[in-house]
Amino acid sequence: MKKVILLLSVITLISSSCQQKQSAISLTTADGGMVSAAHPLAADAGRLMLEKGGNAADAAIAAAFALSVVEPSMSGLGGRQQVIIRAADGSVHGIDATTQAPTAYDTSKIDAQVRDGYPVIGIPGVVAGLAKLHQKFGSLPWNTLIEPAIQYAEEGFTMLKLQALRHEAALDVMSKYEGTSQYFLEPDSTAYDEGDLLIQKDLAQTLKLISEGGKDAFYKGEIAQKIVADFATHGGLLTLDDLAQYDAPDAKIVTGIYRSDYELYGLWMPSFGAITIAILQALDRLPLSTFNETDWAKAHNLAIELAYEHRKRQLEGDSIADVLTSDIFADSLAQAIQAQMNGIKSIGYHELEDIPLSWSEPIGHTTHLTTADQNGMMVALTQSLGPNMGSKVASSGLGFVYAVTNGPYLGVYKAGQRASSHISPFLITHNGKPFLALGAAGGSRIISAVTSVTSRIIDQNLSLEQALAAPRVHPDTDTALIENHSGIRWDGEVISAFDEIGVPAKWVEQKARFGRVHAVYYDDSSQMWIGAADPDWEGKASGTNR
């Protein structure tokens, strides 16, 4: 019997046995604006911009630059970024600042299985993305937005527990590269511990150059020259032309409808917003508000599994975006889900071939932030290096790590192609009014986390805090992953029942393995913004009042 039938026949036992995460959630309420980010210092930087009279775009830029300093294993100036914006006038826009394969990249001459080092590095996009966000939507001066990040780099910040653990995990590979060892390891080549002060003087200087010279300082000026000189010495492929010609274009917006009066907005490739919408619109065909916890889990797991089998179709071109977000496609998914839940037909599992490692690895190293302001602007911004500490390469004199673009993690790209991933910053409005802005970190778990929180709020009428704390499921090849750690426990008898009948469902005991969501919600009745950070992470929500 197929995995899904077994799972559905037994998961009915869990509805009264699951408990929500008990970890403390950073939740705050304010009427002037809100920031939710994966590190407290980044949330503070964004809030400071709101207090200075800035808007949600200003807050997002400041928080993103801050994350590039205080969460260097997850994102940075050498990484990629995707942004979706609801402007104050209600229009929705996107920015594509993903990394891009260099013009000299030739897969026939490079080992495509190499996972770190200079050969895997593409053209960074973060600085161009933030400059585009400022150009189109920012209100405060550019240099004002970078001031907190410069301060954190120059004066140092205290290493949080999870950041220290990530550095420790990458120690052996980072030790191979001179610049990375210089910036992210102690003089004795050991990793920084929790509570240590990490000072980054060279990164502060790099940020000052960007503050003074804008995007051109990074892509055409002194920083670009240092990047290219370092790459020429160590076999990298980036050239001055690669950097000078890089752009962060407008991203295509994909849309959908949920429960008739909620408007869904995501980003088309290189983001996976269409897959996110496909899952939600399939669930929209099911009466989830009447489902108990058991049936909700079954339906959600099936919807993700079915939609994920269509991920490769996104490579066929822009026209596929309309197919994946269509009513016809949603109907077909919903019919398959309902049939399976009724025990009529097994959908089975179809193994996709030649998939990138990031599609199946248990944790993704990415960061997400969300902002909103008193005028109804919302910004959801995700940026990433790929795996932990990205390529593991930092250029001496600059202070930041470069993302992975080519290689087995994301897949092999031709020269000039842009890297795609499960990144899915997401916006939802309710009858045209601001409602929810969110996104997640976590590789292939990003989409399942976003859809889970969305459904919990709309279908189950949970608060944002409750939705972030509720358990999540995620299909991994032929196995259903079930969240089960110290913050969320399933009844021991239920676990035993799964074991006794051999159901191929895996209980995941580690925290932060089901996406880390940072979200902002608008309560129309009180006209207040509510922000919350994922309880499995070390982030924070921070707001300001009028």
Enter the pTM of the model: 0.92
What confidence score (pLDDT) does residue 23 get? 47
Read off the pLDDT band of 341 (50, 70, 90).
confident
pLDDT digit string (tens) for 255-266? 999 999 999 999
**Residue positions counted in the chain:** 546
Residue 22 lies in a domain: no
Residue 431 lies in a domain: yes
Question: First and final CA of the chain: distance in angstroms?
Answer: 59
Pick the range with the lowest mean pLDDT from 44-48, 364-368, 460-464. Answer: 364-368
Q: 352 pLDDT exceeds 70?
A: no
| Eight-state DSSP code of residue 447 | H
Residue 17 lies in a domain: no
Q: 347 pLDDT exceeds 60?
A: no
Residue 278 lies in a domain: yes
- Which residues form the domain of 419? 1-12+30-546
- Radius of gyration in angstroms for the set of CA atoms belonging to the chain, rounded to a whole number: 22
Query: DSSP assignment of 193-236, as one string?
Result: PTT-EE--HHHHHHHHHHHHHHHHHHHTSHHHHHHHHHHHHHT-
Residue 21 lies in a domain: no
Q: 535 pLDDT exceeds 70?
A: yes
Q: What angle do the packed helices 445-458 and 273-284 form, to 10 degrees? A: 40
Report whether the peptide linkage leading into residue 270 is cis, meaning its omega lies within 30 degrees of zero: yes
Q: 42 pLDDT exceeds 70?
A: yes
Structurally, how many domains does the chain consist of? 1
Q: How far apart are alpha carbons 115 and 108 in whole angstroms?
A: 16
Q: How far apart are alpha carbons 53 and 51 in whole angstroms?
A: 5
Q: How far apart are alpha carbons 208 and 223 in whole angstroms?
A: 11
Q: How far apart are alpha carbons 214 and 127 in whole angstroms?
A: 8
What confidence score (pLDDT) does residue 206 get? 98
pLDDT digit string (tens) for 58-88? 999 999 999 999 999 999 999 999 999 999 9
Coil/strand/helix, residue 67: helix
Pick the range with the lowest mean pLDDT from 53-67, 232-246, 325-339, 498-512. Answer: 498-512
- Would strands 479-483 and 505-508 be described as parallel, antiparallel, or unpaired? parallel
Highest-scoring range by mean pLDDT, 171-175, 386-390, 520-524? 520-524
Q: 496 pLDDT exceeds 90?
A: no
Q: 480 pLDDT exceeds 90?
A: no
For residue 145, report the phi and psi dihedrals to the nearest 5 degrees.
Answer: -70, -25
Q: How far apart are alpha carbons 427 and 270 in whole angstroms?
A: 17
Q: What percent of the chain has pLDDT over 70?
A: 86
Residue 25 lies in a domain: no
* Nearest partner of 272 among 230, 321, 200, judged by Cα: 321
What confidence score (pLDDT) does residue 501 get? 34
Mean pLDDT of 94-104: 95
The angle at the Cα of 506, spanning 505 to 512, to the nearest 5 degrees, equals: 135
Read off the pLDDT band of 19 (50, 70, 90).
very low
Residue 523 lies in a domain: yes
Read off the pLDDT band of 193 (50, 70, 90).
very high
pLDDT digit string (tens) for 437-465? 999 999 999 999 999 999 999 999 999 99
Q: Which class for 343: exposed (0-12), middle (13-18), buried (19 or more C-beta within 10 A)?
A: exposed
* Nearest partner of 10 among 335, 302, 298, judged by Cα: 298
Residue 354 lies in a domain: yes
pLDDT digit string (tens) for 3-18? 443 444 433 433 434 4
Q: How far apart are alpha carbons 137 and 160 in whole angstroms?
A: 32
Mean pLDDT of 156-165: 93
Mean pLDDT of 222-240: 96
Q: 486 pLDDT exceeds 90?
A: no
Read off the pLDDT band of 365 (50, 70, 90).
confident
